[in-house]
Amino acid sequence: MNRQDRKAAIDAWKERRSAAGIYALRSATTGAVWVGSAPDVRTIRNRILFTLRHGSHRARDLQAAWAGDGEAGLGFEVLEVMDPGKETPAPYVVTDWLKARAAHWRAALKAHPL
């Protein structure tokens, strides 16, 4: 990669917009569901898998499901992504939306919180 390509890639990364949203993890064997929210759902999957692989996830029931099923036994899906419109919303708007929608999805799916 030459200097111009590298600079263009860095500039593109800096200009990207985050996609706040709600996600779910499902256990294939038990059917248990965990719902969480993230300011950027495109990056949360890797963070969750990292903590599960290292045995340090704060949701002990999810960590136990991981120990029994492994990565193949847990499915990850994005349930809903916030549409920010043309302008980036204020951080408190995103936080309030994430809390409300996560509560809605937990109730709808009878899910555990993350």
Q: State the distance between the two ends of the chain, measured CA to CA, in whole angstroms.
A: 39
What is the pLDDT confidence band of residue 100, given thresholds at 50, 70 and 90?
very high
* Residue that the structure tokens 């549409």 belong to: 83
Model pLDDT for residues 77-95, shown as the tens digit of each residue: 999 999 877 677 888 999 9
Model pLDDT for residues 20-34, shown as the tens digit of each residue: 999 999 999 999 999
79: enclosing H helix or E strand: strand 74-81
C-alpha 19/C-alpha 80 separation (Å) is 10
Asked if residue 25 lies in contact with residue 48, where contact means CB atoms within 8 angstroms, the answer is yes
Domains defined along the chain, listed by start: 18-105 (3.40.1440.10)
